Structure 1
Amino acid sequence: MSENKLKHLEFIQNTITRMSTNSFIIKGWTITLISALFVLAQKDSNTTYAILTYITVPIFWYLNAFFLLQERRYRSLYDDVRIKDENLIDFSMDAKTYNAGENTIKECLKADSIWPIYCLMLLIPLGIYLCEKLSKYCC
């Protein structure tokens, strides 16, 4: 394999790693923010903070899906460069043309590495709210 091809693959791999790291950071920020909202809701006995979860979680869900989409597109680019003839290496980093199959935002929103986390974060405040309502009627 030529040095140009290896260098191009390195550039793409670095981009894939950066997108993966961004996705991980988004998940961390989401959990931190949701935890803070729960603490505020508990401290002030105000469920309005928990309701804010339904605004913030979808925003972070979309951001995480966006970074996964970019990562998948660059993986497709990597596969194309990997099999490309060495004379055709042009160091292009344009991954916008890879919009088929799993490389859509809709598919990324439904990805197994994303949807369970965000659905759980949407169900927790609902569970807390229902427990509070039921405890008022039971006790």
Structure 2
Amino acid sequence: MADERKHKHLELIQGVINRLSTNSFLLKEWSVVLVSALFALSAADSRSAFVYLAYIPAIIFWGLDGFFLWQEQLFRKLYDQVRVLPDDEVDFSMDTSVIKGDDRPTWAGATLSKTLILFHGVLISAVVVVMVLTLKAQG
């Protein structure tokens, strides 16, 4: 019975991890779609202001993606803690504040991780390139 409790608790934590991962993927998708739409608007109407607006979703979605990754890292740490708990201590807690010390992930660390810098950095670099090309075409 107690082993069943631990298994159920781990399933609950894994469910949260899966949802966070899915949210991160959808956020990346929306980021590309919105930035691309703003590029299209700037080209179609010859309004370069839309290129500048592309920075807003690119930066906001980078921060949100960092938040989802940070939460995912916290729940992975919680999973590791629950995995080794004695069966009688399983309490179904989903509180990630129990992760303490140097082992605790941070939002800044997640936001500036290699994978997020690579994805969102490329997206912001594309905004810079399109902005420069738009300014050259106008001038």
TM-score, length-scaled by structure 2: 0.90
Query: RMSD of the TM alignment (CA)?
Result: 1.8
Identity of aligned residues (%): 36
Residue type of the alignment partner of 1:66: F
Residue number in structure 2 paired with 1:34: 35
| Contact map agreement 2:17 2:76 (CA 8 A) in 1 | yes
Cα shift readout 1:81-114 (whole Å, capped 9, x = no counterpart) = 0011111111101113326446101101111221
Tell whether the 8 Å contact from 2:48 to 2:134 is kept in structure 1 after alignment.
Answer: no
TM-score, structure 1 length as denominator? 0.90
Residues 42 and 27 (structure 1), Cα distance of their counterparts in 2 relative to 1, 3 Å cut: same
Number of positions where the alignment pairs a residue of Structure 1 with one of Structure 2: 137
Deviation beyond 3 Å, 4+ runs, structure 1: 99-102, 132-137
By percentage of residues, which structure has more helix?
2
Q: Which residue of 1 aligns with 2:121?
A: 119
Contact kept in structure 2, 1:65 and 1:109, CA below 8 Å: yes
Which consecutive unaligned segments of at least 5 residues does structure 1 have? none
Q: Which amino acid aligns with 2:94?
A: M
